[in-house]
Every structure is written in C-alpha cells, then in structure tokens.
Amino acid sequence: MIIDYPTLKLIWWLLVGVLLIGFAIMDGHDMGVGTLLPFVGKNDVERRVIINTVGPHWDGNQVWFVTGGGAIFAAWPLVYATAFSGFYWAMLAVLWALFFRPVGFDYRSKIDNPSWRSTWDWGLFVGGAVPPLIFGVAFGNLLQGVPFHFDNNLMSYYTGSFWGLLNPFALLCGVVSTAMITFHGAIYLMHRTEGDIYRRSRVAVMLFGALLLIGFSLAGVWLQWIPGYAISSVIDPAALPDPLAKQVVREAGAWMHNYQTQPATLAVPILAYLGIIAALLLAAKGRTLAAFVASSIGITGVIGTAGVSMFPFILPSSTAPNASLTVWDSVSSHLTLTIMFFATLIFMPIIIAYTSWAYKVMSGKVTAAYVRENSHSAY
C-alpha cells in the first residue's frame, strides 16, 4: 500500500481532529446562533432574522457531525463502539437535543402562532446549547479516564453511570465548550446582521469570549493535577491493532508529557489564546469576518490542545488502564484506512468548494425587510 500503517494511523488521528474541528467551526456557529436566539432576538421579526442567517446552511453544516461520526466508525470502530455505548444516556441526550433542529428550523415559521413559534425557539436553543455542553463534558471525562473494560473477545463493558460523568472538572470542560461555540456563533451573528441584533451579539461576544478565556485557563491549570495516562510498554506502531497488548500507567502530570518532550506542541494552546484574543479585538472593532476566522483558529487551538495533551490516547480506561484505546491499537485495517484517506482527500476539497459557493450566494446582511418580503418562503 502507498502509505505505511503507522503513518496512516497518525494521519487518521489528524483527520478525525480535522473533522471534529470542522464540525465545531461549521455546525458550531449555527449551534451558537441557536443558543443565542431566545436572548438576542426580542420579537418575532428579530428572531426570524437570526434564524435566517443560518437557514440555508445549518443542514449542510450538520453533515460535519454526521460525517465525523461516520469517520470515527470507519477509522476507529472500537472507539465508536465503546464511547457511544458507554456514554449511552449522554449520547441520547445529544441526539434528542439535535431532534429539535431540523423541525425547529423548518416548521417554526410555517404557522403564525406566538406560542408555537416560541416553543420552537426554545427547541432551537436546546438543539444549540445541549450538544456542545455534553461534548465538553465528554471530553472532560476522557481526560480523566472512563470506566470500561473488555472481555477476551473485545466485547466492551461500561461500569460507570450517567451522573458520574457530571463531575466538577468535566462540567468545567462543558462550560468551556459551550462558551466557545456561543462565542463563535455570536461573531457569526454580528457578521450577518445589523442594528439591535448586531449590538446584542457584540455584548454576547465579549461575555462568552471572556468566559472562554477564563474557563480554558482554569482547565489548563487543573489538568496539571489530574492523573493522566502513559504507555509504559514498548509500542510497535506497525502492529495489528490489539488494545489488550500494552501496559499503561496512570500518573499525575502525564498529560503534560507531550509538551515537555516536544515543546513545539506548545504552539497549539498558544494558538488557542491568540485566536480567541484576536477574535475579541477584531469583533470589538467591527471587523466581523476577520473575527470569525480568528475564532475558528481559536477553536482549532482549544480542540487541538485536548488532542495533543492526550496523544496517543483516545479513550483511556480508568478501571482497566491497559485496555485504554489509543491511535495505535483501536484503528481499522491498513486497507480501510487507506481507502478512507483517499476518499477524504478527494471529497473534502469538493465539499469545501461548494459550501463556500453556497455561503457566497447567500452572503450579505439578513434584514427585517428581507424577512417581511419573503414571508412565505423564509424560515
């Protein structure tokens, strides 16, 4: 095969990262808009303006999530199986929250009744706020290790509970994630609106930007004390994936190892700070498009920081550390990784091209006049 197995395993760690970051940037901004909807929009016309900033795009954006899930299934089947079944109720909560989005967007303005519309507005709030919160909490738990083990046939058993996921550090990560997505959505809203909505969105940018900076810093400090995981046996990156073949130790500060041994990786958390601060400054100056790019870079830094801290771990096990899932031993076969790599390489640029075209076609400020003129066809 054209690319050797260890390299492909690494590439797939990066690609899953790219898909998750793509999801956070693209689906994230419309989730942020959903979260802000009931607060930034004070009357029906304002809310329709807000919804129509993402109206033509939310569906395409949501596919980042679907494809991210599909790519994890294809590239890391054991991670997909273990995480989705282990986090059963958290995953269902995300799923059920997401239910409100397609129907909320499409059905809300089809009936002219205030309580009908207000119900769907809160539905869009749930669909926008709950998934980032739970994903943040999930990452918070990954960083602490998750209670699961395998039997000899690699059937996974999860021994924790849903409530156990809601511990203080994980909740802090949930706050970071929600603040990040809302911040990003507020910047997008500034870019696409004017007047009162623009001004209120600017306040939201400052508020959630500050919350994000504080939360991200706190989580970083806290991480020094959280016991991390490290592989203590020799690893053969070219070996056939078998998650039961290694030794893992759990020790405080282990999540800092990568930054100590590879100082260049410190660029990732630095990127997070630079992106967020730049986005704040640019948004304050009203340079909204540049601010959106900057907050996208900030998101890349924040998610990248979680990934780099844990590398090569994906899903550490707190009850059976040796069974932790890593980029070396929970992946698909060489052939599948190769095929999926080329499929991504071919289609990702095409997707980015037509998505950009769609945004270009629909570009410009969404105004109250637009909503009134298109009352029969707009959301």
**Site for other proteins, residues 38 to 77, rule: CB under 8 A:** 55-60, 62-63, 66-67, 69-71, 73-75, 77
**Residues in contact with other proteins, total (CB under 8 A)?**
72
Query: Pairing state of beta strands 148-150 and 156-158?
Result: antiparallel
The answer to whether residue 111 forms part of the interface with other proteins (CB under 8 A) is yes
Binding mask 307-326 for other proteins (x = CB under 8 A): --------------------
Least Å distance, CB 224 to other proteins, is: 32
* Candidates 156-164, 268-276, 278-286, 291-299; binding stretch for other proteins (CB under 8 A): 156-164
> Smallest gap, in angstroms, from Cβ of residue 289 to other proteins?
19
Three-state DSSP class for 220? Answer: helix
Among 35, 53, 144, 156, interactor with other proteins by CB under 8 A: 156
- Sign of the Cα pseudo-torsion (60, 75, 134, 290, in order): negative
Match 């950009």 to its residue by tokens: 356
375 touches other proteins by CB under 8 A: yes
Nearer to other proteins, 39 or 162 (CB): 162
- Region binding other proteins by CB under 8 A among candidate stretches 146-154, 220-228, 276-284, 299-307: 146-154
DSSP structure class, residue 111: S
State the DSSP code for 317.
B
Q: What is the closest distance, in whole angstroms, from the C-beta atom of residue 30 to other proteins in the complex? A: 11
Tell whether residue 336 is a contact of other proteins (CB under 8 A).
yes
Residues within window 157-186 making contact with other proteins, judged by CB under 8 A: 157-158
Work out how close the CB of 352 gets to other proteins at its nearest, in angstroms, rounded to a whole number: 10
348 forms part of the interface with other proteins (CB under 8 A): yes
Please state the closest distance from residue 379 (CB atom) to other proteins, in A: 9
Contacts of 215-222 with CB under 8 Å at 24 or more apart are 215/172, 215/175, 215/176, 215/179, 216/176, 216/272, 216/273, 216/276, 216/302, 216/305, 218/172, 219/140, 219/169, 219/172, 219/173, 219/176, 220/269, 220/305, 222/169, 222/172
Of residues 214-253, those binding other proteins (CB under 8 A): 240-242
Residue number, 39 or 357, with CB nearest to other proteins: 357
Candidates 92-100, 137-145, 228-236, 291-299; binding stretch for other proteins (CB under 8 A): 92-100
Backbone angle region of 132, left / alpha / beta, with phi > 0 → left and psi within -120 to 50 → alpha: alpha
DSSP 251-286: EETGGGHHHHH-GGGGHHHHHHHHHHHHHHHHHHTT
